[in-house]
Amino acid sequence: MPVPASRPPRRYDLLGAPFDGGSTLGWPGSRYAPARVRQAMEWILQRRENGEVYCLDHAAVHPFPDDLLEDRGDVHVIGHDLEATLASAADAVAGSVRAGRSPILLGGDDSLLYPAARGLAEATDGTVAIVHFDAHLDLLDENEHQGRYSHSSGMRRSCELPNVEVSRSVQVGSRHFNFPSSLRFRESRGLRNIPAAEVHRRGAEAVIADVVEHLSGADRVLLAFDIDTIDPAHAPGAGAHEPGGLTSHQALEAVRSLAPYVDALVLTEVNPLTDVRDQTANLAAYLIAHHVIHGRIAA
């Protein structure tokens, strides 16, 4: 997927969204994630020296200027009003994009996928493709128990946005069982799915190369990463546990490789109430750090 060579080095905004009002299933508690992940980020950021950081994975020193990652605080959350909170998050994402920066929306539950997509889509005249890492499809339309904007509907609502290019979007890491109606929607819209079993079989490197090629033609890319993509053995602090997921190594490799192509990131469903010694919050902090450091210069 070609990225304009003239694009200046990216700068990132971190936007917390301490909200889990869309968690109608699984375990609530992801409202506490932004604070816990920020705390874990401090462990990483203290390794900067003179505007640089040393990446052991590639034996390379990377620029990390003071303004590379700016913490903009939390978006305005209205605890009793799901739709107002989603609108607030979308406005914050759009504002970051219009300011020429790359937003990172840190949830919170996965209803926040939709405002991240909406904010990016509203702030650009071009098309948007979504790379959706999740154990689940999140293509539920509406039902009595969950309504239209729950953590099970974020991708469905995003696919309805007029400039989201569904046929260029792809879901990665799904597994086990889902609604037959979600399959029918996927097939009708040309939404590609790469289950976790395929990632294990082919390897993360080959799958991500395939994803990058699939994105080709879209003007902007949203990376939506639900932490339950990762196997609960590696990420126990999640809203739901689905065995057979990606390893932490596969997840980090995927985020590093995709980072140069991504214009906005939403990371959701870290749940400190089910975490073990901040293992999952720490992994989420590293996902963000690799996204920022390896995505600074466009591919």
Q: What's the rounded Cα separation, in Å, for the pair 182 and 178?
A: 7
Would 137 be classed as within a structural domain?
yes
Q: What's the rounded Cα separation, in Å, for the pair 66 and 46?
A: 12
Would 5 be classed as within a structural domain?
no
Would 2 be classed as within a structural domain?
no
Of the candidates 247, 239, 253, 238, the one whose C-alpha atom is nearest the C-alpha of residue 287 is 253
Would 100 be classed as within a structural domain?
yes
Measure the CA dihedral 163/263/266/252, to 10°.
130
| CB 146, CB 140: distance < 8 Å | yes
Identify the pLDDT of residue 4. 45
Taking only the tens of pLDDT, the chain with its 299 residues reads 444 445 678 999 999 999 999 998 889 999 999 999 999 999 999 999 999 999 999 899 999 999 999 999 999 999 999 999 999 999 999 999 999 999 999 999 999 999 999 999 999 999 999 999 999 999 999 887 788 899 899 999 999 999 999 999 999 999 999 999 999 999 999 999 999 999 999 999 999 999 999 999 999 999 999 999 999 999 999 999 999 999 999 999 999 999 999 999 999 999 999 999 999 999 999 999 999 999 987 65
Identify the pLDDT of residue 179. 92
Would 162 be classed as within a structural domain?
yes
Would 276 be classed as within a structural domain?
yes
Would 6 be classed as within a structural domain?
no
Omega prior to 108 cis, within 30 of 0: yes
Identify the pLDDT of residue 142. 87
| CB 64, CB 57: distance < 8 Å | no
| Containing structural domain, residue 110 | 13-141+148-295
Q: What's the rounded Cα separation, in Å, for the pair 100 and 95?
A: 9
Would 1 be classed as within a structural domain?
no
Identify the pLDDT of residue 298. 62
How many domains in the chain?
1
| CB 188, CB 94: distance < 8 Å | no
- The pTM of this model reads 0.96
CATH number assigned to the domain comprising residue 157: 3.40.800.10
Of the candidates 36, 22, 18, the one whose C-alpha atom is nearest the C-alpha of residue 272 is 36
Q: What are the backbone dihedrals phi and psi of residue 241, each rounded to the nearest 5 degrees, phi first? A: -110, 120
Omega prior to 29 cis, within 30 of 0: no
